[in-house]
Amino acid sequence: MKSSLFISVPKLIKGIRHGEIPALSKAISLVESKLPLHQRWAQELEAAFSKENSNTIRVGISGVPGVGKSTFIEALGMYLVKKGHKLAVLTIDPSSQQTGGSILGDKARMDQLATHKSAYIRTTAAASTLGGVAQNTRSSILLCEAAGFDIILVETVGVGQNELDVHEMVDALLLLQLPGGGDEIQGIKRGLLEVADALLINKADGAQAPLAKKAQQYLKAATHGFRPRENGWEPPVLLASALENRGIKEAWQHIETFISLQKKQGDFEQKRTHQKIQGLQKSIGHRLEEAFFADEWVQKELPDIKRQLTNGSISISEATKMLIEGFRSH
């Protein structure tokens, strides 16, 4: 039994460097695990691949539920692997806050891509992660790159403002939108529109084609008043039909143009360095939160402090102070 539970980290590292998918999948599972032993192994893996590859491209793809992200990614992914790229798709699946259950059905929705020898699809439950991007997606990106994948697509939950987290770990962010007019587009959060590097109206086909053009005009007008970017990039508003495989090539060409502009102006490496610092800050916050709620004194006193807060005996700030001071002193 003991041997079946043991994992050779050096063997995993070797396997990943040779592009072995079972080794990559096992490594990502360790990164996602909450077991202390698995977390130690995951840290060894991350240390081995801490040096990033600047020749890769990381693209976040976000959009409201029903916009056709999976269909679009399948079409884009097939285009990329046919061009000779090795593609990894990291999809963050909606999961229940109460049960932790997850749909985890992206492979079924990307059946062609899922069986292609140059593609790898990994689905992770979003769980309680606020930004729609699983806590360990950043580490999974590095592992995929170490395994030889030169393009990483990160598909996010698509629930609004909190999707901004994906912007902190990719080189370009593509925001998908449904055909429609002002009422539909009003639902898009301004913060997400401001950080998107390209906007794409999907499902621009059939009876929805006129609505897609209407949405394109509305989005162009809506984003026109945003503060100009320092590098001079103006996010395009594109039309596509993933179902009919139209506009896919053009969408990727715009992403490549944006990446080239960043590299030419020196923004690419600077952005990735900044993202590392952001990742460090988030990791510290996450680890401190875990340590706080795992503390025996906190677990013992928290129910009573919650009762005092609920009945109005103490304020939120007082409760916070009591818990933090108690945590520090025990």
Question: Is 260 found in the same domain as 118?
Answer: yes
Residue 107: pLDDT above 80?
A: no
- When pLDDT is averaged across residues 71-79 and rounded to a whole number, the result is 96
d(C-alpha 69, C-alpha 116), whole Å: 19
Domain boundary residue, one of 16, 35, 50: 50
Phi and psi at 63, nearest 5°, equal 160, 160
Question: Is 36 found in the same domain as 64?
Answer: no
Count of domains observed in the chain:
3
Asked if residues 89 and 57 have their Cβ atoms less than 8 Å apart, the reply is no
Question: Is 293 found in the same domain as 156?
Answer: no
| Dihedral sign, Cα of residue 177, residue 181, residue 185, residue 187 | negative
Question: Residue 271: inside a domain, yes or no?
Answer: no
Helix ranges (H only) for 196-266 are: 209-224, 248-264
Q: What is the pLDDT of residues 135-170, one digit of tens each?
A: 688 889 999 999 999 999 998 866 554 467 788 889
Question: Is 87 found in the same domain as 30?
Answer: no
Question: Residue 173: inside a domain, yes or no?
Answer: yes
Question: Is 126 found in the same domain as 257?
Answer: yes
Question: Is 241 found in the same domain as 106?
Answer: yes
Q: Which residue has the higher pLDDT, 285 or 164?
A: 285
Question: Residue 273: inside a domain, yes or no?
Answer: no
Asked if residues 148 and 84 have their Cβ atoms less than 8 Å apart, the reply is no
- The greatest distance separating any two alpha carbons of the chain, rounded to the nearest whole angstrom, comes to 66
Q: What is the pLDDT of residues 229-268, one digit of tens each?
A: 878 898 999 999 998 999 999 999 999 999 999 999 999 9
Question: Is 66 found in the same domain as 164?
Answer: yes
The pLDDT assigned to 132 comes to 45
The pLDDT assigned to 5 comes to 55
Question: Is 249 found in the same domain as 108?
Answer: yes
Q: What is the CATH number of the domain that holds 15?
A: 1.20.5.170
d(C-alpha 120, C-alpha 5), whole Å: 25
Residue 105: pLDDT above 70?
A: no
Question: Is 86 found in the same domain as 24?
Answer: no
Question: Is 210 found in the same domain as 291?
Answer: no
Question: Is 213 found in the same domain as 189?
Answer: yes
Q: What is the pLDDT of residues 12-65, one digit of tens each?
A: 999 999 999 999 999 999 988 888 899 899 999 989 998 877 789 999 998 888
222: Cβ contacts below 8 Å, ≥ 6 apart: 185, 193
Q: What is the CATH number of the domain that holds 104?
A: 3.40.50.300
198-201 and 237-239 beta bridge pairing: parallel
What is the extent of the structural domain holding 135? Answer: 52-265
Phi and psi at 192, nearest 5°, equal -70, -40
DSSP 177: E
Tokens of residue 101, six digits: 């259950």
| Dihedral sign, Cα of residue 228, residue 171, residue 61, residue 126 | negative
Domain boundary residue, one of 33, 50, 67: 50
Question: Is 306 found in the same domain as 240?
Answer: no
> pTM here?
0.86
d(C-alpha 198, C-alpha 248), whole Å: 13
> What's at 314, amino acid-wise?
I
Question: Residue 270: inside a domain, yes or no?
Answer: no
